[in-house]
Amino acid sequence: MARKKSTTADLTEQSVLLAEFAANALLAAEQFGIKKKVVAGIDLDEAERVVAAGLPGLSATLRKKLSKNGVSFTIADTSSIVLGLAESILEGDPLQRLKLLFIAKKLTDCLEANVVPAAPAKAKKSKPTDTLYQFKITLLDAKPLIWRRIQVKDCTLDKLHEHIQTAMGWTNSHLHQFEIRGDRYGDPELLDDGFEDFECVDSTKTNLSQILPKTGKRFSFKYEYDFGDGWEHEVLFEGSPPVDPKAKYPLCLEGERACPPEDCGGVWGYGDFLEAISNPKHEEHDNMLEWIGGRFDPEEFDPKASTKEMKKGLPDWRSMI
């Protein structure tokens, strides 16, 4: 079993590296205006072209090219094929995976010779904030669903925590963490104080662009807030829409229902809270209304108000120490 897990992990890493390589090559080619440059040295035999033509996600034009002998491929074509290989490398039997890896090696070598030597200096200059990410944040186990759909520029996971807090309606009064592909991400300065042997990847130094699929495929991970109440959220990456030059980010596009009050006992305590405030005869009715400030509508949500809070952000607690 351990051997199988190790192999899967290795393949996953190879898939990510291939996707990153192709995306970077395409980005560099676009910056230099050479996306349509013919890639020299590609030598795929008929069997390899048949395998490549069967990759999901390839355009009809590219499939047609792969079906013919002696056809040249541009940098954009080659990068698209490598991305297709990266997506398919985790599927199929071992022999099929080996074929895909062999084809990928041929193509990446050609791309490296045609693009990469000149690319790094330019590619590093691109600003992280040029990329826009869309997420759907769903509070797990809450019924009916409580969720938000937001758009944010590339930023650290620590900043994403801030966006989630302000979009949902939390007050950043407790600790938090992300769980991504089995690893925990958080602010070591906070978590080291609260938990003696807590190990995590530093969320203040990890950008979204480092952990999200370069292919734009949907990808989900977990965000937990308040380890006592245990508010767990699914963070679903829905893609990278084009940036609207007239829009000011971050944005809360839509959502449903109010955020539960802080310290109400998690999802199950929230159910008890709603039962108490909705029933004037409940023994805790008056106490709960007084605790919440006299009014709470669980169905109330305004995306414009959430957007305003997202733009306002949270106080910088480090500057207050």
CA distances (Å), 272 to each of 146, 285, 296, in order? 16, 10, 14
CB 274 within 8 A of CB 261: no
In this prediction, residue 181 carries a pLDDT of 92
Radius of gyration of the chain (CA): 24
CB 66 within 8 A of CB 52: yes
* Token pair in block for residue 83: 């991305």
Chain Cα centroid distance, residue 32 = 28
CATH number of 129-258+299-315: 3.10.290.30
* Token pair in block for residue 63: 């499939």
In this prediction, residue 292 carries a pLDDT of 93
In this prediction, residue 161 carries a pLDDT of 97
C-alpha closest to that of 215 among 28, 79, 74, 47: 79
pTM: 0.60
Give 209's Cβ-side CA count (13 Å radius): 13
pLDDT in tens, the chain (321 residues): 344 444 566 667 777 888 788 778 777 776 666 877 888 878 888 888 888 888 887 888 888 888 887 778 888 888 888 888 888 877 767 777 788 888 888 888 888 877 744 333 333 333 455 899 999 999 999 999 999 999 999 999 999 999 999 999 999 999 999 999 999 999 988 876 545 556 789 999 999 999 998 888 999 999 999 999 999 999 999 999 999 999 999 999 999 999 999 999 999 999 999 999 999 999 999 999 999 988 999 999 999 999 999 999 987 766 544
pLDDT digits (tens, 9 = 90+) for 201-215: 999 999 999 999 888
Segments making up each domain of the chain, as ranges: 2-123, 129-258+299-315
Handedness of CA 129, 252, 288, 230 (dihedral sign): negative
